[in-house]
Amino acid sequence: MMDPLDILTHLDQVVPYYQPIFSADEQCIIGYEVLGRFQTADGIVSLGSFFHDETIPEEFRMEVDQTVTMKAFDQFLYAQDPSSLIFINRDANLLMLDRGEAFLQMLLRYKEKGLKLERIVLEITEHNFKGDIQQLGHVLTYFRTYGIKIAVDNIGKESSNLDRIRLLSPDILKIDLQALRTTSVSLSYHDVLYSISLLARKIGATLLYEDIESSFQLQYAWRNGGRYYQGYYLSEPSDQFLPSDFLKERLRQKFHQFIQHEKKKLQTLYDISEQFQLKIGELLAKHKKIQDFNELISLLAKELSDCCFRIYICDEDGFQRSANIFKKDEGWELQPQYYMKNWSWRPYFLENIIRMRSRKRGILSDLYSDIETGETIRTYSYPIDEHHYLFIDLSYAYLFEHNAHLS
C-alpha cells in the first residue's frame, strides 16, 4: 500500500479516471463515475484503499478527493457531450463534517464556469454512515434544490437498511452484483434485490446495477428493473471520454437476446398454465358429484401425483375448507390440522382470488420458497366455483423437468 504522505505531496500525480454508465432505454453512455487514480513509475494505481482507510486523517482524504473532483470538472467543462451525468463519490461521514458546505461551494464555483449542476450525481454509501441519518437527509434535500441528484451505492453488498434508504429518498439506487459471481447464489439474495426494486418503484428511484463482469450479470440487471449499467464487462475506467454510442450495437444485440429468452420463458409458463387449465377443468367435471372436499382432493392427488406434492381448497376469504393432502414418499397423507387455517395474509392471495373470480381461469404463481419444505415451488390455483378455490403446489422436480424453474 502507498504511503499517504507520498500522495499528499504529489497531488500533481493524482488524476481522475472515468467509468462509463450505460442506459437500457437508449443503449448509450449517459454518464461517468469519477474514480481517483495515482500515477507512479510502475503505472496507474487506484486510490480506493486510500479513501476508505479511516486511519488516514480526514483532511488528507478530503484534500485528495477535492483534487480528483476539480480535475474531473475541468475536463467535463470541455467534454464533447455536455449532457452526460457526473457521478461523484463522497464519504457521507466526511461530507457531514461541515454539512456539505465545502462541497456545495466547489460546485457553485464550477457552475459559474458553465457546469450545469443538473449533471451532478452525488454518490454516498448509506451503511457506512455513522451520524444522524435525518440530518444527512436534510442536507441531501438541500442539495436537490440546486438540481443535484443523489445516488446511494453498494446496495446488496452489505447490510443496507431499506428504511434509512427510503428516508434519504435517492434518485438512483446502485446495486452491487458481486454476489452473482458465485454459482450458488441463494434465493434470499434474489429476494433482497427484489425488495430493493420494489422500494425503488415506490420512491421513484432509478436502478443502476454496478460491478457487471459478465453477460449473465448484465442479463440479470436487465431482467430485474435496471435502467443503468456499469462494470468491466461493458467498459473499464479510463482517463478518456468515449463516444456516447460506443456500445450501442452490441447492447442492442444483447438486449435482443435477452428479450427472446424472456419471451420463450414466459411462453413456457403460459403453456403450462394452459395445460393445467384444461386438465383441472376436466378432472373437476369428472368428479363434479363429489361434495366432500377432502374426498375431492384425495381423488385429484392420485391423478396429479406426477407434478404436485400438496393440494387444498380455500374459500374466497382465505379460510381453508379442506385438509391438506401432502405427498409423503410415494403415498399421500391427509393433514386435517390445516382445516380453517387462514391464508389471506399471504402476498397477492386476495388479489389472485379476485383475478380468478373475474376471469374464471386459473393462475400460475411466481417462484417462491415453501414455508414448510423450503423447496422452491410454484402454485397453480383454480376457481372451483364462485366461493371456493383449489390450490396445487407444484414440485421443483416437475418445474425443472418442464423448464419452469427459473424466476
Q: How sure is the predictor about 185, in pLDDT bands with cuts at 50, 70 and 90?
A: low
Specify the pLDDT at position 193: 81
Number of domains observed in the structure of the chain: 2
Q: What is the mean pLDDT of residues 355-376?
A: 92
The yes-or-no verdict on residue 50 having pLDDT over 70 is yes
Rounded Cα distance between 226 and 74, Å, is 30
The yes-or-no verdict on residue 217 having pLDDT over 90 is yes
What CATH number does the domain containing 324 carry?
A: 3.30.450.20
What CATH number does the domain containing 93 carry?
A: 3.20.20.450
Higher pLDDT, 81 or 379: 379
Q: Are residues 280 and 202 in the same domain?
A: no
Q: Are residues 315 and 391 in the same domain?
A: yes
Q: Would you say residue 89 lies in a domain?
A: yes
Domain residues for 322? 261-401
Tell the residue number behind the cell numbers 443503468, with chain if given: 228
Q: How confident is the model over 92-130, as pLDDT tens digits? A: 999 999 999 999 999 999 999 999 999 999 999 888 889
Q: Would you say residue 197 lies in a domain?
A: yes
Q: Are residues 270 and 209 in the same domain?
A: no
pTM score over 0.85 = yes
Output the DSSP codes for 281-350.
Answer: HHHHHHTTT---HHHHHHHHHHHSTTTEEEEEEEETTSBB-S-EEEEETTEEEEEGGGTT-B-TTSTTHH
Q: Are residues 227 and 269 in the same domain?
A: no
Q: How confident is the model over 258-307, as pLDDT tens digits? A: 999 999 999 999 999 999 999 999 999 999 999 999 999 999 999 999 99
Specify the pLDDT at position 240: 94
Q: Are residues 70 and 194 in the same domain?
A: yes
